[in-house]
Structure 1
Amino acid sequence: MKRQWILWGVLILLMLAGVAFGQVDRSGEVATLKQGLESTSRSARIDAAKRITQAGLTDGVLYDKVAALLQAGYGEAVEANAVDEMAWLCKALAASGDTRHQPLLEEVATLAPNVKLQKYARQSIDSFAEHQERIRVLNATTGWNADLSDTENRLIGMLGAESAELKRDAAKTIVRDSPVAEGVYDAAASALSGMLAAGILDNLTVDTMAWLCKALAASGNGKYAPALEQVAAAGNKKLTKFANAALQELR
């Protein structure tokens, strides 16, 4: 019996090790963002906060640093640049998806000396659930393609998510960072066609689809022309404009 328990223990340890090795190491990314938050440059701190908002990271120490900066600075944020920094820190703190930080955001929403900052704090409180979904998608490694980079695999995950915001953020990143792997553009084309087929053309969906058109244009690959032609014929003026512009780039 004792030997059996030992074997079970070894098996469990191996399973746990497999899980651990399957996780993506994002410590370098976290370290860079912490360095940005500690910079003496306000623009560098704001840039770090913006990146945290999009990154889907789970490092508790990083978000504690964000909270400390917000706690120390919001009470004196009156001048426009200071308000802008504190607003981005509010957004970055909500990006933790961890509601233990909600009381601080509620404090900012109530006590900040600037009305604009109060508004951003309230908006940040409302975005916890959205960021929890972002964290789940950006840290899910099931089905990843070993031939693609971590960033490219995350982009594909975002493009396949239900959230239009995640799709739009992925499309913006593709436009900014192209060229990327063809598999990423394939995922963008699939996301665009799926949204068109769904037939929902509210403002967020249309804006997301417009960015997806831009992403396909950045591919330089004519195989995406049929998907863009379908969007151009959908009857929405904004989508027609962006789809036709993308087609012109591909031609």
Structure 2
Amino acid sequence: MKTWIVLACLACAPLTLHAQDTRGSDTLVTRLKSPSTEARTRAAEDIYGAGIESAAVYEQLATNLRTGMEGLTKNSPQLEEMAWSVKALASSGDLQYMPLIDSAAASNIGYLARHARGAKETLQEAAATGKPYLTYTKVRLITERQAESCQYVSESSCQTARAPEKCIESHKAKAVEAGANSVMVLFSSSQSGGLTLWGASTTMPASYYLCR
């Protein structure tokens, strides 16, 4: 006998929802200006690959990178911050930052230089697409209320015999391909052929949005 279990999207979303209040451009700039090296580093990590479109965010990153590279040594506590900053700056897709990234790539500090060389490739790839770099791992899951302030792009459905999280991953990847940066799960249903969910089939439709 087949058993159907239907889950509302809000029941599954909290597993991977990103906190919106840490990703707004004003908040990111504030975090990048923090006196804490750790806080600035985390901000740069959040910006990398997140498809952020704010010029102010990247200008602050560039300022941090220029300032931070002055007198930098391999033992400096800011080294990790600079590595993430150069990667995050490359996410802009703005070629005006290439000279600054080039200077980081020419650093005699191998750790920073390696990250900067990778950042150059990211910058060139993003520039070729005409939009900031977005990796599917940074695509957000949003609620219906949050979607109201975003631009609808498209929708798709996923079906899998594996864990429901596999559908989440699939939707995030499809969202990037569609030019979206957020996913709203419409619902999730699991069909089981027995008394347990072993071997269950999950169906999960979702809508894709561009949130700025």
TM-score by length of 1: 0.48
Using the TM superposition, give the Cα deviation of residue 53 of structure 1 relative to its aligned residue in structure 2, in angstroms.
Answer: 1.1
Q: Partners in 1 of 2:125 and 2:100 — Cα distance?
A: 19
Q: Partners in 2 of 1:36 and 1:63 — Cα distance?
A: 13
The aligned counterpart of 2:123 is: 128
Asked if 1:106 is matched to 2:81, the reply is: no
Using the TM superposition, give the Cα deviation of residue 77 of structure 1 relative to its aligned residue in structure 2, in angstroms.
Answer: 3.8
Using the TM superposition, give the Cα deviation of residue 148 of structure 1 relative to its aligned residue in structure 2, in angstroms.
Answer: 5.4
The aligned counterpart of 2:165 is: none
The aligned counterpart of 2:40 is: 45
Taking the TM superposition and a 5 Å limit, the aligned residue runs for 1:1-251 are 29-75=24-70, 76-79=72-75, 81-110=77-106, 112-132=107-127, 133=129, 135=132, 147=144, 149-150=146-147, 158-162=173-177, 181-183=184-186, 222-223=190-191, 225-226=200-201
Which structure is higher in RCO with an 8 Å CA cutoff and minimum separation 6? 2
Q: Partners in 2 of 1:89 and 1:123 — Cα distance?
A: 12
Change (3 A) 1:118 1:96: same
Using the TM superposition, give the Cα deviation of residue 38 of structure 1 relative to its aligned residue in structure 2, in angstroms.
Answer: 0.5
Using the TM superposition, give the Cα deviation of residue 222 of structure 1 relative to its aligned residue in structure 2, in angstroms.
Answer: 2.6
Change (3 A) 1:162 1:182: closer
Letter in 2 for 1:226: S
Runs of at least 4 residues off by over 2 Å: 129-138, 145-163, 180-183, 221-228
Letter in 1 for 2:45: K
Change (3 A) 1:92 1:108: same
Q: Partners in 2 of 1:45 and 1:77 — Cα distance?
A: 18
Using the TM superposition, give the Cα deviation of residue 74 of structure 1 relative to its aligned residue in structure 2, in angstroms.
Answer: 1.6
The C-alpha deviation readout for 1:60-119, integer Å capped at 9, x for no partner, is 222111111101112414226421110000011101110110011111111x23101001
More strand by share: 2
Q: Return 5+ residue gaps in structure 2 as ranges.
A: 1-20, 136-141, 154-167, 193-199, 204-212
Letter in 2 for 1:43: E
Q: Return 5+ residue gaps in structure 1 as ranges.
A: 1-25, 139-144, 171-179, 187-218, 229-251
Greater shift, 79-88 or 33-42, is seen at 79-88
Max Rg structure: 1
Q: Partners in 2 of 1:100 and 1:41 — Cα distance?
A: 27
Change (3 A) 1:125 1:43: same
Q: Partners in 1 of 2:58 and 2:78 — Cα distance?
A: 19
